[in-house]
């Protein structure tokens, strides 16, 4: 029993959040969900004229999980550079991924913001320019994110399931909280998507 208790303490933190291991598990779980949603979003691009509704719906669902992933990665960044001992022991990501991370965040925000503006927020006279921005930032985002995903693929595949199975979920405190946080982000995205997607029909008429 003693080794098991020691292992549990090593992967936990005093505030019950799970420390860097819990943060990594949540980040990986979000990444897995985003991968599936982004794959579906990519399928809609193949026939964007006919699938503008699903394109907008999935795009809006993506927003809260994206913001959550930015929050978890930023939290790790802040804790590491402020010298938190457990985060310092875990160490930073590889140099290339560390440099690429901020670029991925900026491009993600640009793609999402321009997409939302196209649907609900911009005057019709801005639509042509916004569409160019949306398409250009998407291409840059796709290239940067492809490298980012490949760099984290093994980590994500390893950590994402650990909060969802009995033996491994008990190794790190806060599994239920992390699950609820992820589920809540998806629920919020669904609510927003049902609210915003009807505007897509108007955008389609204007864009034509």
Q: How far apart are CA 169 and CA 162, in angstroms?
A: 6
Q: What is the reported pTM?
A: 0.84
Q: Residue 203 has what pLDDT? A: 61
Q: Residue 204 has what pLDDT? A: 52
Q: Residue 6 has what pLDDT? A: 37
Are 27 and 73 in contact by the 8 Å Cβ rule? The answer is yes
Where b means 16+ CB within 10 Å and e means fewer, 154-190 reads: eebeebbebbeeeeebebbbbbeebbebbeebbebbe
Q: How far apart are CA 161 and CA 122, in angstroms?
A: 40
Q: How far apart are CA 139 and CA 144, in angstroms?
A: 9
For 75-129, write each residue's pLDDT tens digit: 998 898 888 899 888 888 788 888 888 999 999 999 999 988 888 876 777 788 8
19 to 65, 97, 139, 157, 160: CA distances (angstroms): 20, 21, 35, 20, 16
Q: How far apart are CA 36 and CA 29, in angstroms?
A: 11
DSSP string, 155-188: HHHHHGGGGGSHHHHTTSTTHHHHHHHHHHHHHH
What string of pLDDT tens digits covers the 208 residues of the chain? 434 433 443 444 544 557 899 999 999 999 999 999 999 999 999 988 888 899 999 999 999 999 999 999 999 988 988 888 998 888 887 888 888 889 999 999 999 999 888 888 767 777 888 889 999 999 999 999 999 999 889 999 999 999 998 788 888 999 999 999 999 999 999 999 999 888 776 565 444 4
Q: Residue 3 has what pLDDT? A: 40
What are the residue boundaries of the structural domains of the chain, listed by start?
Answer: 2-207
For the chain, what is the radius of gyration of the CA atoms? 19
The crossing angle, in degrees rounded to 10, of helices 52-81 and 95-116 is 140
């Amino acid at each position: 029993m003693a080794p098991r208790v020691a292992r549990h303490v090593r992967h936990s933190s005093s505030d019950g959040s799970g420390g860097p291991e819990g943060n990594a598990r949540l980040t990986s779980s979000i990444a897995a969900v985003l991968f599936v949603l982004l794959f579906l979003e990519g399928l809609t691009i193949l026939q964007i004229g006919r699938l503008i509704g699903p394109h907008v719906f999935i795009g809006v669902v993506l927003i809260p999980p994206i913001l959550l992933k930015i929050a978890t990665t930023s939290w790790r960044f802040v804790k590491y550079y402020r010298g938190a001992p457990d985060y310092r022991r875990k160490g930073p990501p590889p140099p290339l991924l560390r440099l690429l991370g901020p670029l991925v965040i900026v491009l993600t925000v640009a793609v999402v913001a321009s997409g939302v503006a196209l649907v609900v927020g911009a005057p019709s006279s801005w639509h042509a320019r916004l569409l160019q921005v949306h398409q250009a930032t998407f291409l840059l985002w796709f290239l940067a994110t492809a490298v980012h995903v490949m760099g984290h693929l093994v980590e994500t595949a390893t950590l994402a399931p650990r909060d969802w199975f009995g033996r491994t979920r008990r190794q790190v405190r806060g599994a239920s909280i992390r699950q609820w946080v992820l589920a809540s982000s998806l629920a919020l995205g669904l609510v927003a998507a049902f609210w915003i997607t009807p505007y897509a029909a108007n955008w389609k008429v204007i864009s034509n």
